[in-house]
Structure 1
């Protein structure tokens, strides 16, 4: 069965030799990076020499307390007792992760995939020459599946891989993927850009991936996709695979998004600062093409706007069709989210829209979502929400936990494993609207509404824009 898989395991490289006419006896053949179609028959070695030293292996580890499996056996517990209040003795195990990273700054900043270091408490990197260095985690951004590390004591001979222009890529361009597939050691693979602006990949919120047929396998996560000038054009992230190995369909996060994440880390932020649009979008279906006066399904259709948001203040309305951001075409909501999301804060973005079959340009300010008092509270007492942490919804929090913008309700941010909240199916990102007929606007109101036992609990939640009415016994 075909599936999409992140590719965490490790990073490294071997040179690839192209075919060329043999040199005269006793003479070394001159080498250069291929610049013309004919020169593709030469060698990629100059590009590899330039890029490979800046790609590193990333090692993550964390210590976990694991219960002895014998204590899950009721017969064993019957004879030896249920020690430790039902938990039994535990032993320590070390969970490990292996992936790749790219040195992108002379100060020792390393960009990698978030899933490579997710949950890890200790992270190290190793160079191609086997030198190891400790790093600290500066920034994690699950929304882009990127993370930034900082080498604690960077060496003087630190190699840096320059960031290229991913927007300048064209389908058919030659690229190299550098990584450590299956942990076999340094490896470089060669291919072309197979497609651009790929969405529906599903490994991050901002989807506009570079697709390549360069062989990418488990272990390449966080590694480099480089152009023929030896510049970084993408961070290898995921593959389509039936077996877990490469089938010639790999995806890389473009450097336009990498640059935004790196800039946030350089500015000392632990979260990526990105602009807030403040509108709900939907794709253009085949049924809507004729009514919108289009020749094909394309663009992002505005369904609603949030009061006083940048979209609302710019005069955008439900029914407006966004077709471009600063001249870059938009084919669907994911494409718009990427194009708008990589714009730097400050100033404005120029949106090309179609309104009532007429094309016009609208200027939308690039600003952060406003923060409000979260008043986060962990639910206790006899209610089915016990074990959930909820907070007052604000535009900034809605962006952070990835929920559609609402002006009311409280959002679930944490659900403890095994808690009553988890047992009734509550999930992080659920917005609680009401309980037993009482409207809920703050965490305190939810705590008060569930403070007393009830024979039956009726509650209403909004899950990704869909309102769900549920009930459970007291």
Structure 2
């Protein structure tokens, strides 16, 4: 083969390779319209349903004269201080029903709503549930039909889905930010009782609370609720209350109701790696049934001790937060399939959900007298009380629900503590506790977050 033949072959091969690459490559844009990719049509469609919320609260203070004369009586004088706050809200019904965060309107004397077209209307607070940090408002403009957002099943979203956050950060007029779903079923302790959120990296800042988290089909998948930040500004970690909780709030709240989480009648424990190995599970997930209350829904459904609950309605249960959330989206008297692992085999039982009973009656009492527990408010624990306090488990006994400011009891007890024993004797109920403290108190045994401690007195 001579030199000319070799060169010709190389040219032909290069041409064929270039042609193949050109065939696989995306076509280059030919004008500006080919470069345009915009959320503008979606924003124009959904943003009219997102509103500004302004609240006015009158805080009462106590004043005294700065330099009183000796012996001069000085009754406190009432002072007033007006506080203004702002937030966002979402219209979810054409009749003017608005969802926002409870902390946006908490204690407000006046609530004003500014629509996207800049009209300002007075809003009426229908109901609020601070445990889930949600509130419902109503506006009215002569029976006008308002733009609103439809709900989307929040269980249908996945990590990586593109979302828009719409609200009014720092009091600015309506602002739109974009991002993705960073996590679903995210636990963010201390934010609300649900403790179950959609996490997004769309910028959320103060003032965004109560605003909309919207999927690209224009439906509401969450109410922007909180941010994780050490500076107060957005660092790309925002939390939204899932729309499935919002839907439940809307269905109950218009009649002034509150979300009641159904009771299963069982005590559970999170599956640890050691427990997973003992139960023959491939990974540590689910909740182990430790105790089944006789006559409760779990007992009637056939749940047994050491069953591992892994799914409710085919939705995975990984921990206590996911169970609380799943239950909060369901109504009492609903029959749900519960998937459990029993003896290494998968079993499905049908469980009829029930309202948590107040049994025994709470017998709320403020402890008094010359003894260490004076100033502590206590009640009998029951499934209903456990639900109100956001507890997964119910244990019979006496629980502290408040401590008066400055009370001696505040040195060693706090709300949420269980009073287990006095002077080494078990406490059965409030009446039993009140009887035991009348004869003098030398020790009090407290259970707090699974830890038991005895405080001695001299």
Q: With the length of structure 2 as denominator, give the TM-score of the two structures.
A: 0.84
2:264 to 271, 277, 283: 277
User: Residue 311 and residue 120 in structure 1: after superposition, are their counterparts in 2 closer, same or farther (change >3 A)?
Assistant: farther
Shift of 1:94: 2.7
Q: Which sits farther off after the overlay, 313-322 or 349-358?
A: 313-322
Q: With the length of structure 1 as denominator, give the TM-score of the two structures.
A: 0.81
CA distance in 2, matches of 1:468, 1:255: 41
Which residue of 2 is the match for residue 398 of structure 1? 386
Shift of 1:341: 2.8
CA distance in 1, matches of 2:269, 2:280: 17
Matched, 1:60 2:55: yes
Which residue of 2 is the match for residue 98 of structure 1? 86
Whether the 8 Å contact between 1:382 and 1:450 is mirrored in structure 2 is no
Deviations 1:293-323 (A, max 9, x none): 2222222222333333222332223322111
User: Residue 132 and residue 380 in structure 1: after superposition, are their counterparts in 2 closer, same or farther (change >3 A)?
Assistant: farther
Matched, 1:385 2:373: yes
User: Residue 64 and residue 471 in structure 1: after superposition, are their counterparts in 2 closer, same or farther (change >3 A)?
Assistant: farther
CA distance in 1, matches of 2:118, 2:74: 44
Whether the 8 Å contact between 1:136 and 1:152 is mirrored in structure 2 is no
Matched, 1:332 2:332: no
CA distance in 2, matches of 1:396, 1:92: 38
Shift of 1:63: 2.4
Whether the 8 Å contact between 2:298 and 2:351 is mirrored in structure 1 is yes
Shift of 1:436: 3.2
Which residue of 2 is the match for residue 47 of structure 1? 42
Matched, 1:239 2:227: yes
Deviations 1:92-151 (A, max 9, x none): 223443221111123332211122233444433222333333333333223322222233
Shift of 1:213: 1.6
Which residue of 1 is the match for residue 415 of structure 2? 428
CA distance in 1, matches of 2:97, 2:71: 52
Which residue of 1 is the match for residue 178 of structure 2? 190
User: Residue 81 and residue 217 in structure 1: after superposition, are their counterparts in 2 closer, same or farther (change >3 A)?
Assistant: farther
CA distance in 1, matches of 2:124, 2:415: 28
Q: Which sits farther off after the overlay, 344-353 or 373-382?
A: 373-382
Unaligned runs of 5+ in 1: 1-18, 24-37
Whether the 8 Å contact between 2:96 and 2:145 is mirrored in structure 1 is no
Matched, 1:469 2:457: no
Whether the 8 Å contact between 2:154 and 2:221 is mirrored in structure 1 is yes
Higher alpha-carbon Rg: 2
User: Residue 106 and residue 421 in structure 1: after superposition, are their counterparts in 2 closer, same or farther (change >3 A)?
Assistant: farther
User: Residue 62 and residue 441 in structure 1: after superposition, are their counterparts in 2 closer, same or farther (change >3 A)?
Assistant: farther
Unaligned runs of 5+ in 2: 1-28
Whether the 8 Å contact between 2:261 and 2:387 is mirrored in structure 1 is no
Matched, 1:261 2:246: no
Q: SS of the residue aligned with 1:159?
A: coil
Which residue of 2 is the match for residue 409 of structure 1? 397
Whether the 8 Å contact between 1:177 and 1:214 is mirrored in structure 2 is yes
Shift of 1:89: 4.2
Q: Which sits farther off after the overlay, 125-134 or 188-197?
A: 125-134
Deviations 1:413-458 (A, max 9, x none): 3322223333x33322223333335544443443444456x4x542
User: Residue 154 and residue 117 in structure 1: after superposition, are their counterparts in 2 closer, same or farther (change >3 A)?
Assistant: farther
1:345 to 313, 332, 347: 332
1:221 to 204, 209, 217: 209
Q: Which sits farther off after the overlay, 247-256 or 143-152?
A: 143-152
CA distance in 2, matches of 1:319, 1:67: 57
CA distance in 1, matches of 2:392, 2:455: 20
* Greater RCO, 1 or 2 (C-alpha within 8 Å, sep 6+): 1
Which residue of 1 is the match for residue 17 of structure 2? none
Whether the 8 Å contact between 1:325 and 1:339 is mirrored in structure 2 is yes
Whether the 8 Å contact between 1:108 and 1:154 is mirrored in structure 2 is no
What pairs with 1:106-185 in structure 2 (closer than 5 Å)? 106-151=94-139, 156-185=144-173
CA RMSD in angstroms, aligned pairs only = 2.9
